[in-house]
Structure 1
Amino acid sequence: FQVHQENHDAVFKCTSSKEKNITDFTVTWSIQRKDSSTFLAHFNNSFKNVTREKAYESRLSSGINSTTSSILLEGLTLSDSGDYLCNISSPNYMQLTLIHLLVEIERRRIPYGLYAAAIPLIVVLLLVR
């Protein structure tokens, strides 16, 4: 389960079992929402033939090594909330990893200088009453 604010980035990782020495495998990432599933990326162990969904292409990057696959989704939006599914498969092996993402509205911070300026103003307003 991951919680991030909108406009931030999220990294999702899935790792194959270390006991399994698989060399010929593919990885598929997708996002599952209420009644739909959207393909995000698909690649093989040599990282050739990487395919990315056009709607996510500019915000999505991916990486892979002998045991771990990861994707980076940049500039999160509220609609990115959902269940991210990683499917690592080979002729004799399959592993599914599900990661739930909740994107929250970005909390705006008030710069310290505004606090410093607001305190004397509040004091003056209280004294004027």
Structure 2
Amino acid sequence: MLGQLVNLRTLELEEVSLSNLEFLRNCPNLQRVKLKDSSIQDASALAMLESLHSLELSGCPNLGKLEELGKSASLRKITASFAQFALLKDRFDRKIDFSTITGSMTDEEDEIWYAYLKS
């Protein structure tokens, strides 16, 4: 049903457990996705969304194939945990806006994140 919403621009999913996000491939105008307290076995379909500019992840430690986001040509901003930031920061061919981290960080993690922001 969601995959038939071709004009959908923003999607927020909270407390869901899904095997994948393939149903989003038919949403060519989707620009912003927010996932909260959710688990997705294969999130790689997000990388194929040509209009996706912003991704917010909050309380989502179990997102499989997240590294595939590095293939996204349109993604500009990602809000995520430090672990997700560390996984993704070097996967893109351009600088991504990771200016917001969810959850806490150690002092060492904070230094790594800050160095990325300054670069």
TM range (shorter): under 0.3
TM-score (norm. length: structure 1): 0.21
Greater share of strand residues, 1 or 2?
A: 1
Greater share of helix residues, 1 or 2?
A: 2
Compare relative contact order (CA 8 Å, sep 6+) and give the higher one, 1 or 2.
1
TM-score (norm. length: structure 2): 0.22
The structure that has the greater radius of gyration is: 1
